[in-house]
Structure 1
Amino acid sequence: MLYATAGLLDVLVEFATDREPQEANVPLAATPAGELTGTDDRLADIGPDTSVLTHFYLPDAGGAVSSVFGVDLGTPSGGAQARFVSHPTGPLAVTKEDDLAGAVLVAVPPWDAEKIRAFDRRGTGVELVGLDAEPPVESIE
């Protein structure tokens, strides 16, 4: 089972809509469930150390440096635990052309957060649960 905040799923669908007819390809990061706030009763059931996908990284961030030096500045040094890809012409599955991660979320038109599907790195379907929760507010001092 894979968990993600409902807010993240909504943003990913908006991103896929904006990118169409091109594919979206976005690294995702997780936050431990114990650090989330929200009214979703399922938060108490999944345990505080369970990873919940909460953030995405803009795919074009650091593009100039990556092009010149081969360094990916768009993803933090801790890496991304998952990836979101959209397939504007299908299929609703992981393809050989997709960048892989520990988990891959895939969306196809019509764009709807409820229709995003999750897969492991082998392309096997995994249950995706959207949680009504928010990650902690981060600030730079």
Structure 2
Amino acid sequence: MTDSDEWLEAIKWDAQGLVPAIAQESGTGKILMMAWMNRDALRLTRASGHAVYWSRSRGKLWHKGEESGHQQVVRSIRIDCDADVVLIEVEQKGGIACHTGRHSCFYRELDATGGWAEVDPVIRDPQAIYGRA
């Protein structure tokens, strides 16, 4: 650990060395997505000014927008009162944060019948973004 990494020690990492990270849109305050970060992801996010996450399914760092071009430019990085959640205020490039082609990953809302209603539209077909469904 270098002196410049001391800020990472304030974070309460889970048993796998991860912390949940919430991406919030600068200006609107809208929650765009939640992902996981490890120390390297958070360190790279700070150093590069672009959001970098840890993909649990792929077991590797994931630079947001590396395939889609929908990068997240970091405006600020915060931690909550318990230091166990990171909040990243971002400028969402391309207006799409979700791999489903929507602005936000939180596009389903519990309705009065107890079902999940899709309340936000697909902005761009994911197959057109990623070349696969």
Q: Between the two structures, name the one with larger relative contact order (CA 8 Å, sep ≥ 6).
A: 1
* TM-score, normalised by the number of residues in structure 1: 0.26
